């Protein structure tokens, strides 16, 4: 089963993702998960302010600069894992360094 780990953080998520204190441990985590054969892919995202949101209403595309939702937390990165169980995905997320400074949402992929 594949799981998506969404790395979320506060409004300064872009700054947190670029922080060298968290970058090295996150890269090491990715390398370890790849070594174990669990990590399929992953990457950080640019800050939410750089997003463009697209909605089609009445056949017309409406573009908005910025993230879709106005929330206190934004997605700063993702990882796709191939796991034997939900518990294995949760354990992998628990060991991710990002969990110490932000939150990680784990979802099974269809």
Domains of the chain: 2-46+70-108 (3.30.70.1060)
41's tokens: 């892919």
pLDDT surpassing 80 at residue 7 = yes
What is the per-residue pLDDT across 19-57, written as a single tens digit (0 to 9) for each? 668 889 999 999 999 999 999 999 988 888 888 989 999
27's tokens: 């890269």
CA 52 to chain centroid: 17
pTM of the model as a whole: 0.85
Alpha carbon distance, N-terminus to C-terminus of the chain = 9
Q: Which residues pair with 65 in a beta bridge?
A: 52
pLDDT surpassing 80 at residue 6 = yes
């Amino acid at each position: 089963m594949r799981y998506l780990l969404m790395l979320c953080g506060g409004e300064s998520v872009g700054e947190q993702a670029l922080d060298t204190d968290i970058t090295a441990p996150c890269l090491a985590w990715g390398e370890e998960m790849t070594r174990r054969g669990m990590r399929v892919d992953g990457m950080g995202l640019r800050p939410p302010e750089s997003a463009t949101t697209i909605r089609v209403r009445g056949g017309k595309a409406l573009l908005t600069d910025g993230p879709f939702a106005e929330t206190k937390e934004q997605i700063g990165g993702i990882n796709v894992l191939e796991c034997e169980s939900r518990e294995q995905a949760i354990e992998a997320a628990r060991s991710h360094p990002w969990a110490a400074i932000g939150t990680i949402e784990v979802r099974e992929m269809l």
